[in-house]
Amino acid sequence: MQLLISEASDLTEPQARIITQAVQAIANDPARIDHLRQGPHLNDTLISLGKSLLALPRSRPVRKTPAEAPH
């Protein structure tokens, strides 16, 4: 998480934690599920997913709920 923050200084600690946990889940979950572990391109797929997640835009506009939207 600290490495991610040092490389992407626009991230807050909670944002970095969420991204780090998501990347870890992408790597760990298939390792625990036998039929996913058997996939012929599992490593390439996991690497691609992890890189894609790390490259997502960091800031997104906050959507207001209908009650908060201007009338």
The domain ranges of the chain are: 2-54
Q: Which residue has the tokens 């990347």?
A: 23
**How many residues are present in the chain?**
71
**Whether the predicted pLDDT of 60 surpasses 60:** no
Percentage of the residues of the chain whose pLDDT score is greater than 70: 76
Which residue's structure tokens are 């490495």? 3
Identify whether the C-beta of residue 58 lies closer than 8 Å to the C-beta of residue 8.
yes
The 10s digit of each residue's pLDDT in 16-35 is 888 888 888 888 888 888 88
When pLDDT is cut at 50, 70 and 90, the band that residue 65 belongs to is low
Higher pLDDT, 10 or 41: 41
- The residue among 42, 2, 9, 8 whose CA lies nearest residue 26 is 42
The pLDDT value recorded for residue 61 is 46
Q: Report pTM.
A: 0.58
Cβ count within 10 A of residue 54: 14
